[in-house]
Structure 1
């Protein structure tokens, strides 16, 4: 792999996409973007490749959009063998590169791991991930040891009517959602 710098601090990384299979004989790779719109993945000056415990800086020197993904060429990876180690790896940026959001807006990765508590102070679980459904985003809330039960819940991310408060300092999302609501 052609890399510039190893970064082992994952706390400040935001995963924006994932590399797929090698494409062609010149070492191009498929890249699936998790950004909205997808082309935003290419707007960052410093990119990192890796996984949970090890990140390396890399440079994408060419890109082509193809259907719902991108074909990218990583500088110095000019054949399938030199590109193969990137397959399945994540593409990330440092969190300080992310654009500022308006008051009350949050990046999904910031919400993941927060506790979800309802109006009755019942712990419903912890945000595992979010889903994009078209109408609104949905919190996937998994039970924890302190949860009221062991159910997984799908809670719509609708400000004010369902999501009453996001308190990052306390690590809590307060919701208007009863423990016995059917998902």
Structure 2
């Protein structure tokens, strides 16, 4: 439901409301997909950490990471990468690149999850507002295409972790 042109000044209220409802439904679906995609990364990161050392410490490591935030899991993975892979190696650079991108995605996801959502149908934007209504607020605007692209990015990050675990297990 991306715009083909600028808003029509002659658009009726009924048309605008119908577009707003359609945009809200699509945005809700995309945000739900984002939650699933991010959860998939979190789950697989946890499995990666629990199976370090070929799974020889599975129970101990599972208990260690149980309940950890993804931020803490990423710090743990980063420390393990630094410990196991030589500085300057391609595999280390690949893991570090992945960790950096997941941290960035985590920040975007947190902003999305902790904000309030609305639809600016005239401008074809989905709006996310962070902050207290009576205080300082920050507004982030997305097109439906941008929300879908973030989901694709998350899916690519999940696939990259699977690739890293296969070709360079820790």
Please indicate the TM-score interval, normalised by the length of the shorter structure. Answer: under 0.3
More strand by share: 1
Bigger helix share: 2
Give the TM-score taking structure 2 as reference length.
Answer: 0.24
